[in-house]
Structure 1
């Protein structure tokens, strides 16, 4: 199975955000190269919110290019076997935390957002990753900062996309 096939399967099985989900599937049907950065019409990305439920906090990165507090994530790579694997790879690379495990049940949310040219859209498939109890985060080259935030502080530092991802993740944990 290719990464493209996996993405289509993941999206077909995702049971929420019907209009957005159908938009992702239509995009992939129209753009066979829609998994990767060179697709200027937009491409899938994969991300994961790193969460530490035992301490009631999430790890956010201050994105170097965007200057915004975001979850870990980025572009799918040809070596990624699945969209889920891409999210876990990105979360591990950007957080420096080994031993992350994705929350079961597939993606937590989808988020489509504009980005600067030459590409026009990121179609993000968002997961949540549980941090080990003894997790120590290390800043990557892609970040200006990396910080743990209590759940209740996220809305004060991040945009609505991240806030909705935290809410959806906490709902899944409940």
Structure 2
């Protein structure tokens, strides 16, 4: 099964955000290359909100290019067999934490956001991942900083999309 096929199955099974979910599916049906950065109409990305073992804080990255506190995530790569694995790979690479585990329920949220040309949109499929006890985060090349934030601190540092992701993650736990 291709990553494109996996994304279609994941989105068909996702039971929330019906209008946005259908937009993602329509995009993938119209664009066989819709998983890849090269798709000018937009592409599917995968991300994960990293949660501490006590489920009291989240790890956010200060994105190098955007200068914003965000969850870990990014573009799918040819070696990614599934969206879940892409999200876990991105979270592991950007956090430096090995042993992350995705919440078993699958994606917790979808977020469509504009990006600069030549591409137009990121169609982000968002997961949540639990960090193992004793996890130590390490800043990657894609980040200016990494920091743990208590749930109630997130609205003060992050945009509405990250706040929504946190709210949906807390509901899914």
| TM > 0.5 | yes
Q: Is residue 47 of structure 1 aligned with residue 43 of structure 2?
A: no
1:153 aligns with 2:153: yes
User: What are the Cα deviations for residues 11-57 of structure 1, in whole angstroms up to 9, with x where unaligned?
Assistant: 00000000000000000011100000000100000000000151510
In 2 relative to 1, CA 55–128 (structure 1 residues): closer, same or farther, beyond 3 Å? closer
Give the Cα separation in 1 of the matches to 2:35 and 2:57. Answer: 31
* Residues 69 and 150 (structure 1), Cα distance of their counterparts in 2 relative to 1, 3 Å cut: same
Segments of 5+ residues of structure 2 without an aligned counterpart are none
1:158 and 1:53 map into 2 onto residues whose CA distance is 21
1:12 is paired with a residue whose SS is helix
SS for the counterpart of 2:147 is: strand
The equivalent of 1:32 in structure 2 is 32
- Per-residue Cα deviation, 1:152-174 (whole angstroms, up to 9, x for no partner): 0000000000000001111111x
Residue equivalent to 2:8:
8
Per the alignment, residue 89 of structure 1 pairs with 89
Q: For residue 18 of structure 1, what is the aligned residue in structure 2?
A: 18
Q: What residue is the counterpart of 1:166 in the other structure?
A: 166
What does residue 98 of structure 2 align with?
Answer: 98
Assess if the C-alpha contact under 8 Å between 2:53 and 2:132 holds in 1.
no
Distance in structure 1 (CA, Å) of the matches to 2:115 and 2:18: 23
Instruction: Count residues with an aligned counterpart.
Output: 173
What SS does the corresponding residue of 1:162 show, helix, strand or coil?
helix
Structure 2 CA distance for aligned equivalents of residues 137 and 151 of structure 1? 18
The alignment partner of 1:132 has SS state of coil
Write out aligned runs for 1:68-83 (5 A).
68-83=68-83
